[in-house]
A and B are shown apart, each in its own frame.
Chain A
Amino acid sequence: MVNVFFRKLMLLWRRRRLDRELAEEMETHRILLARDGGNSSKLMGNITLAREESRDMWTFQALEWILQDARHALRGLRRSPAFTAIAIASLALGIGANTAIFSFVNAILLKRLPVPEPERLVTFTEVWNLDTVDKFAKQATAFDGMFGWFAKPVSFSTGETAQWVMGELVTGQYFQTFQVKPAVGRLLNEDDVRDARGNPACVLSYELWQREFSGDPGVVGRSVFLNGHAYRVLGVTARGFYGAVLQRRFDVAMPATRVGDVMPAFGGVDWLNRLSWMSPMARLKPGVTRAEAQQQAQVLFRQIDPDKQRDLLLEDGSQGFNSMRSEFGRPVVALMAVVALVLLVTCANLANLLLARAQARAQEFAVRLSIGASRARLIRQLLVESLLLAIGGGIAGVMLALWINSTLLAFMNTGRSASMAIHVAPDARVLAFSILLSCATAILFGLLPAWQATHPTLLPGLKQDSAASGYTSRVMLRRSLVVIQIALSLVIVFGAGLLTRTLRTLGTVDLGFQPDRVIALQVDPAANGHSSAEVTTILDHILQRAQALPGVRAASLAAGTPNGSMEITSVIEVPGYNAKDAKSAGAVFNFISPHYFETLGQSLLRGRFFDERDNRNSPRVAIVNQKFVRHYFAGLDPVGRKFLEGGGEIEIAGVVSDSRDYGVRTGPRDTVYMPEKQGQTSGLTLLVRTDGDPQRVIPSLLGIVQSIDPRMPVFSVHTLDMDVEAGLTTERILGYLSTLFAALATLLAGIGLYGVLAYSIARRTREIGIRFAIGAQRRDVAGLFARESLILVLVGLIIGAPVALISARALRTLLFGVGATDPFTLLISVIVLALAALLATSIPLWRAARVNPEIALRWE
C-alpha cells in the first residue's frame, strides 16, 4: 500500500510523459491488431474510456477530482465577484473574531509554560517564608525540585541610566524544577542562593540579554546594578523560557535571600524567616500523582511548622502562576460564546446566499444530473466551492485576528509599564483552530444548500417554468434561516446591551474621591541604595518642592493609592467589639501625609486631619472611614476612642467619607489611615492635585526627582483617572466588542431578511402585475410582503427572547447594576432588531410597490 502510494507520488511529476506513452502503446496495439486482420473498433471497445481508466490507475483520484472542482469553483466565484466579496468579508469577520478571541482563551486558559513536561508542575495554595521553602525543598521526596518565587519590578542598570525591569526572586531549585538550560554561563543553584548575601549573583533572561547586551557572551561575570546593588551575572536562560508566569516576561532572576534589595520598604522586618511572601511551586517525580504528593507534603508541612494546622492543597501548575485566569477567564469565555454566535449568524447568512445562488444554477444542475452526473459529485463540487470561500475567509480572518489581537493587547496594556505587559502571541494551536474552524464553517453553511440544490425532486427539471415544485421547500428553508438569524441576533444584542449598561453604570458610580487631575508618581529612593533615613529626607524634600510648584493645589505622600497594587491589611482589636472570626477583625491600613484627603477630594466628617505634629514620636493616631465606623462602632462617633494593632494603642482622631479604592465594582473596605511618619518610610507614592492640565505639571515633578538623584528610577507616573479607567478595561473591552459583534449580527440578519424578501418579490412580479391590473393599490401590495416580513421577524424574536434570557445568565457575574433578565434591556434589544428589520424590509417593499404592471405582465 505504502509502496503504491510513493510510486503514485513519484509519477505525479511525469504525468504528461505517462500519458503520451500510454497513447503510443495503444496506438501500437491498434495497428498490430489491424495488421492481423482484426476489427479494431469492434474489438477494442471505448478507447477513450480505456485510456482514462488506465490513467486513473496512477492518479490520486479523489485529489484530482477536488482540484478539478476547485478550478471549476474558482471560475464560478470569479464570475460573481459581489457574492464572493460579501461571502469572504463576512467569513473573515466571523473567523477573525473567533481566532482573535480564541488566542486569548488559549493564552489564558489553555497554554502551558514552555518547559519540559509542564503537566508535572504543581503550585501550592499557600504563601511561605523562605525557611519553610528551604526545609521543604530539602526534605520532600515526592518532587523533582521545589522552589519559592516572588516577582517585583527592580531598577536595572549597567552603570549609567537605570530602567525598570521585571525581577523574580527565586530559591535554589528554581531552574532545576523548570529544567531550563543556560544559553551562556550557568544558572542559579542552591549554593548561589545561600551565598548571595556576601556574593550577589543573578541570571538574565534571553530577551534582556539580547536587548541590553546584543547577545554578547562576554556578559557572564560582568556586574550589573539591581536597585543600586552590584550583582555578578552568572548566565542567561535558554531562548523561549520566560519565567514562572504564563502571560508575563521576567528579565532577571535573583536569589531569594536578596529580598532586602527588592523590598527595602520593610527593612526592619525579618523577611527570611518570619514573613510569608514566597509562592511555592514544585515538579512531581515521574509516576507520583498529585494526590500522593499532597499527602506527603501535608505530613512534611506539619513537621516543619507544627503551628500550622492548615490543609495544604496542590494545584495544577502547568500554567505556572497564572494571574489572568481568575481576572480574565470568565470575560474571555463570555466573548468566545458571543463570537461563536456571530459566526453562526454568518453561516446562516451565507447558507441563505448560497441557496439563492443555487436557485440561479438549478438549470445547470438539472442538466448535469440528467446526463449522468451523480448527486454526490454535484454536492462535492458545491462543498468544494464552500471550502474555497471558507479558506479565503479564513486567511483574511487570521490576518484580521492578528490586528484585533494587537489592538486588544494595546488596550489591555494601557497603564501598564513594559515590564508588566501581557503577552498573547498566537501559536500553532491558534492556527490549527482557525483552520479547523474554516473547514467546519464551510460544511456548516455549505452542506444544507448543496443538499437542497441537488435534490432531484426539488429541481425544476429542464423546464423553464419557475413555478416548479422546489419553490416552496426552498423558500421555507430560507425563511427558517432568517428566523434563526434574527433569534441569534437577539441573543447577541441582548448580551451586548447588558454589558454596555454594566459599563455605563460603572462609569456613573460615585467613587468617593476625585481621580481626575491627580498625578501619582512612584519613586523609591531605597531602590537606588539610599538608607532609610535618607529616604525620609528625600521624600519630604520632593513633597515640599512639589507643593510649591505653580498649578499644584495639594500634594501628599501615601503608601496606598486608589487602584494601586500596594495593600496592607492588619488584624486589629477594638474594645467593645466582638469579632465573629479572625477575618472580621481586620482593616486595610494606609500611611499618608497630612494633605492626602485634600489631594484626593475626600471630606472630613468628624474630628481632625493629620498635621505636622503627628510624627514618629507623638502618640499613634488614626483617621478611619465610615465603613470602619459602621463595622466597629455601630455608627457611633468614634473620635477619641482607641483600638489595638500589633500590641500598641491607636487613637482615632477623625472620620472621613468612604471611597472605592479597590475598583469601581468593589465597595469601600474598613480602612485605617495613619500618618506615614508613624508607619512606612519607603515604597511611597507622591500624589499631586493640579489646578489645570496635569500633563503640564509632570515634567516639573520629574525635574525635581532628577535634580535630587539622576539615577533614581521613577517607577511610574500617571494620573489616577487612568488607574480608574484601567480598572474598567475588562468591562470596556466586553462592552465595546459585544456591541460591535451585535451590530455585525444585526447587519447580517438584515441582509438575510432583505434577501428573502427581494427574492420573494422577484418571483412574484407577475402576480404583483396582475394584482395592480385588477385594481390593487400600492398599499395592498406592500402589505402583502410586509406581512411576510413581519411574521419572520416576530417568529425570530419570539424564539430568540427566551433563549436570550436563559443564556444571559452565564453573564451574571460580569454584570453590575443590571440584572441578567433585565426586561428594559430586552425591550431595547427587541426594538433595535425591529428597526433593523424595518430598514431591511422597506427597500424591497418600496420596489414591490413600484412594479410597473405592463412590464410585470410580460415577465418571463
Chain B
Amino acid sequence: MGERSSPTELLPGTLDLLILRTLAPGRMHGYGIAQRLKEVSDEVLQVGESSLYPALQRLLLNGWVKAEWGVSDSNRRARYYTLTAAGCKQLAREREQFSRMIAAIHRVLEMA
C-alpha cells in the first residue's frame, strides 16, 4: 500500500515532460510509455499506473495529447496516445525550462 510507485522519485513536474518526449516519435499506449521510459533510462525511471494514468488524463484535458483505441501487438484493445500540435509546443517549452533548471542546479553543485 505505502509502496513508492517508482524506485527513483521524479523531480516534480517532470513526468509530463517525459511522457510528451516519449510520444514525440509516434503513437504509443500507456504500458508502452512506461516500458519505453524504463528501457531508455536503464531501469532508473519506473513509472507506476498511479502516476502515469492521472498524468495522461491531465495531458488529454490540456489538449496536449489525443487518444484513440487501437489493437496492441498482443491483440488486445489498447488506447494509443499521440502528441498534438499544442503538445509539441508544450514539449519544447518544458524542455527549455528543464534545461535551464538543470544547468542552474549544475552550476550550484559545481561552485567553488
A50 at the interface (CB under 8 A from B): yes
Given A4-B62, A54-B57, A57-B57, verify A33-B31 contact (CB < 8 Å).
Answer: yes
Name the A residues within 8 Å of B46 (CB-CB). 43
Given A36-B35, A53-B54, A57-B57, verify A43-B48 contact (CB < 8 Å).
Answer: yes
B50 touches A22 (CB 8 A): no
Name the B residues within 8 Å of A45 (CB-CB). 3, 5, 48-50
Interface string of A49-65 (1 = CB under 8 A from B): 11101111110000000
Chain B, residue nearest A36 (CB): B35
B34 at the interface (CB under 8 A from A): yes
Determine how close the nearest CB of chain B comes to the CB of A211; give it in whole angstroms: 58
B50 touches A44 (CB 8 A): yes
CA–CA, A67 to B59, complex, Å? 26
A21 at the interface (CB under 8 A from B): yes
B54 touches A57 (CB 8 A): yes
CA–CA, A574 to B72, complex, Å? 115
CA–CA, A28 to B54, complex, Å? 16
Stretch at the interface among B11-19, B76-84, B102-110: B76-84
A29 touches B3 (CB 8 A): no
Chain B, residue nearest A31 (CB): B76
Give the A-B pair count, Cβ closer than 8 A: 82
Determine how close the nearest CB of chain A comes to the CB of B75; give it in whole angstroms: 11
Name the B residues within 8 Å of A57 (CB-CB). 54, 57-58, 60-61
Partner of B72, one of A32, A42, A51, A54: A32
Determine how close the nearest CB of chain B comes to the CB of A58; give it in whole angstroms: 6
A26 at the interface (CB under 8 A from B): yes
B48 touches A50 (CB 8 A): yes
B50 touches A25 (CB 8 A): no
Determine how close the nearest CB of chain A comes to the CB of B111; give it in whole angstroms: 38
Given A50-B54, A53-B54, A54-B57, verify A28-B49 contact (CB < 8 Å).
Answer: no
CA–CA, A33 to B69, complex, Å? 19
Name the B residues within 8 Å of A24 (CB-CB). 77, 79
CA–CA, A24 to B72, complex, Å? 13
Interface string of B1-37 (1 = CB under 8 A from A): 1010100000000000000000000000111001100
CA–CA, A8 to B62, complex, Å? 10
Determine how close the nearest CB of chain B comes to the CB of A9; give it in whole angstroms: 11
A578 at the interface (CB under 8 A from B): no
A22 touches B61 (CB 8 A): no
B98 at the interface (CB under 8 A from A): no
B61 touches A58 (CB 8 A): yes
Name the B residues within 8 Å of A58 (CB-CB). 57, 60-61
Given A28-B29, A31-B76, verify A22-B53 contact (CB < 8 Å).
Answer: yes
Interface residues of B in 70-96 (CB under 8 A from A): 72, 74, 76-79
Given A35-B74, A45-B49, A50-B49, verify A7-B54 contact (CB < 8 Å).
Answer: no
Interface size bracket, B side: 20 to 34
B54 touches A54 (CB 8 A): yes
CA–CA, A53 to B58, complex, Å? 10
Given A36-B35, A42-B3, A57-B61, verify A26-B76 contact (CB < 8 Å).
Answer: no
CA–CA, A44 to B47, complex, Å? 9
CA–CA, A25 to B67, complex, Å? 11
CA–CA, A21 to B69, complex, Å? 9
B48 touches A44 (CB 8 A): yes
CA–CA, A55 to B56, complex, Å? 11
Determine how close the nearest CB of chain B comes to the CB of A51; give it in whole angstroms: 8
CA–CA, A32 to B5, complex, Å? 18
Determine how close the nearest CB of chain B comes to the CB of A61; give it in whole angstroms: 13
CA–CA, A409 to B79, complex, Å? 67
Name the A residues within 8 Å of B69 (CB-CB). 21
CA–CA, A255 to B34, complex, Å? 86
Given A32-B72, A54-B53, A57-B61, verify A25-B30 contact (CB < 8 Å).
Answer: yes
Can you give 19 A-B contacts (C-beta < 8 A)?
A4-B61, A4-B62, A22-B57, A25-B53, A26-B49, A28-B29, A28-B31, A31-B76, A32-B31, A33-B31, A43-B48, A44-B49, A45-B5, A50-B50, A50-B53, A57-B54, A57-B60, A57-B61, A58-B61
**Known pairs A33-B31, A57-B60 / 8 extra A-B pairs, C-beta < 8 Å:** A21-B79, A26-B49, A29-B30, A43-B48, A50-B49, A50-B53, A55-B57, A57-B54
